[in-house]
Amino acid sequence: MERPSASSRSSRLELIPPGGGDLLPRELPWLYPIAPLAAAPLLLENLLELPLDTALLRIAGVYVPFLLLSAVFHALYFWVLPKVVPRLSTPLARGTLHVVVTTAVPLLLAPSIFELKELLSKRMSDLVVGVARPTFIIECIIISWIYILPALVVQRLRNKAWNIERMAQLERQAALEAQLKALQGRTNPHFLFNSINTVASLIPENPELAERTLERMADLFRYALDSSKTRLVTLQREVEMVRDYLEIQSARYGSRLSTRVEFDERAAGLEVPPLILQPLVENAILHGMAHRRSGSVLVRVRHEGERVSLEVLDDGPGPGASEHRGSQTSVEDLRERLHLLYGERGVLALETAPGGGCLARMAIPVEGVAA
């Protein structure tokens, strides 16, 4: 696992930003010819008591404001406002804009629509009873609110549901990628070659230690394999695997490597995604021991009220100063995975330790992974 470069990679998330995406359902145009017919009994008094021909003419008069307002709103909400709404930073600002638009448009258009409606009514039939201009303006505003505001709510819920589904999909994808990368890292020829050499060198001198190291290697590979089938493990299990990994590295480096694990038992039962702590430990050893005669690694897990803090501290050259160079993407991959799992509550930061070296600090909410 490598230290990230100074420039962070762009996020691969394909989510709908707040206020972004479609503002109205794409099926809404199908309601334009139906809505006037459904709303006519509410807007026209005694409609059901009128003769059929008069009722049909009155309903035809309702279509005029509906269709004209629908055309304007369609142009605004499908072509203009999608470029404006995402620039507003708060839900209150976006909601205020929608109220203003759905009120201002009928206010501006109602006088012209009223004149057109009156003209058509006179040509169609002298039996058509008109309404006062102020009443008509109010009707236009009500018409706008009736189908635009509920449609906005429906589409917002759709976008939110799509984001939740997409987040779950991306979480599974990121978890699988992380597990595969971790598995590949455990089984790469360099690690396997060094581990086998370590065991081989221990057999004549300390066969019991060689046997224990082989058992830990088996547990490590089994854990990496099982992690592709398990979404969550207890933090105690993750730490046990880290202990095995440290024991293998201690057998490899001998007295050159000093390791210590401080584990708050109150956090033992917290369920976490597998292979989120061990890569940081591997990173600390890889960079802390690069071209150095000795090094130390401290793993600290603390329960801090509403969150659990996981820290990996090495006494190496510090962030960005290691002589080891790699793809510079692994920490960002882990940071993105935490974001997918916990949102803004999952934090990963690399910083220079107070006494020198690198401190990798990860925070996980106690309530665990979001559903």
Higher pLDDT, 291 or 257: 257
In a domain, 132, yes or no: yes
Tokens of 59: 């309903």
pLDDT of residue 309: 94
What is the C-alpha end-to-end distance of the chain, expressed in Å? 28
Give the model confidence (pLDDT) of 287-325 as tens digits: 878 777 888 999 999 999 889 999 999 988 877 665 555
217 and 161, same structural domain?
no
**pLDDT average, residue stretch 11-32:** 72
Model's pTM, two decimal places?
A: 0.51
In a domain, 211, yes or no: yes
Higher pLDDT, 342 or 11: 342
Where does the pLDDT of residue 360 fall: very low under 50, low under 70, confident under 90, or very high at 90 and above?
Answer: very high
When mean pLDDT is compared over 121-135, 203-217, 228-242, 256-270, the highest value belongs to 256-270
CA distance 242 to 245: 5
Q: Strand 358-365 vs strand 307-314: parallel, antiparallel, or unpaired?
A: antiparallel
220 and 145, same structural domain?
no
One-letter amino acid identity for 232? L
Higher pLDDT, 347 or 54: 347
**Which residue matches tokens 């020829």?**
189
The domain total for the chain is 2
- Asked if pLDDT for residue 284 goes beyond 80, the answer is yes
Please give the radius of gyration of the chain, using alpha carbons only, rounded to the nearest integer: 33
Helix (H) or strand (E) holding 350: strand 347-352
Under a CB-based contact definition with an 8 Å cutoff, are residues 286 and 334 in contact?
Answer: no
232: domain range? 188-365
Where does the pLDDT of residue 5 fall: very low under 50, low under 70, confident under 90, or very high at 90 and above?
Answer: very low
When mean pLDDT is compared over 179-188, 224-233, 287-296, 327-336, the highest value belongs to 287-296
Give the model confidence (pLDDT) of 32-77 as tens digits: 777 777 666 666 666 667 777 677 766 776 777 778 888 888 888 8
In a domain, 17, yes or no: no
| Domain termination residue (choose one: 166, 198, 229) | 166
293 and 207, same structural domain?
yes
pLDDT of residue 14: 63
**pLDDT average, residue stretch 211-238:** 82
314 and 205, same structural domain?
yes
344 and 209, same structural domain?
yes
List the 295-304 sheet strands across, edge first. Answer: 257-263, 295-304, 307-314, 358-365, 347-352
Q: Which residues pair with 234 in a beta bridge?
A: 271
111 and 221, same structural domain?
no
Sign of the CA dihedral 235, 336, 167, 275? negative
CA distance 171 to 15: 12
Q: What is the DSSP string of 90-152?
A: SHHHHHHHHHHHHHHHHHHHHHHHHHHHHHHHHHH-TTPPP--HHHHHHHHHHHHHHHHHHHH
Give the model confidence (pLDDT) of 118-177 as tens digits: 665 555 444 444 555 677 788 778 878 877 888 888 888 888 888 888 888 777 777 766
Which CATH number characterizes residue 333's domain?
Answer: 3.30.565.10
CA distance 127 to 187: 87
Tokens of 212: 């224990």
- Asked if pLDDT for residue 250 goes beyond 80, the answer is yes
pLDDT of residue 129: 45
CA distance 22 to 89: 17
207 and 66, same structural domain?
no
Contacts of 171 (CB under 8 A, 6+ apart): 337, 340, 341
**Beta strand spans in 179-281 (E):** 233-234, 257-263, 271-272
CA distance 234 to 267: 9
- Asked if pLDDT for residue 4 goes beyond 70, the answer is no
Tokens of 202: 């221990």
Give the model confidence (pLDDT) of 69-98 as tens digits: 888 888 888 888 888 888 888 889 888 998
CA distance 273 to 211: 29
Contacts of 71 (CB under 8 A, 6+ apart): none
Mean pLDDT of the chain: 77
pLDDT of residue 283: 81
Return the SS3 of 44: coil
In a domain, 340, yes or no: yes
158 and 194, same structural domain?
no
Sign of the CA dihedral 268, 274, 219, 203? negative
Q: Select from 147, 154, 158 the least CA-distant residue to 73.
A: 147
In a domain, 5, yes or no: no
276 and 156, same structural domain?
no
155 and 50, same structural domain?
yes
| Domain termination residue (choose one: 166, 200, 229) | 166
Higher pLDDT, 179 or 371: 179
Count of Cβ atoms closer than 10 Å to residue 167 Cβ: 17
199 and 124, same structural domain?
no
In a domain, 181, yes or no: no
pLDDT of residue 185: 52
Side-chain-side CA neighbours of residue 78 (13 Å) = 12
225 and 81, same structural domain?
no
Contacts of 368 (CB under 8 A, 6+ apart): 232, 270, 271, 272
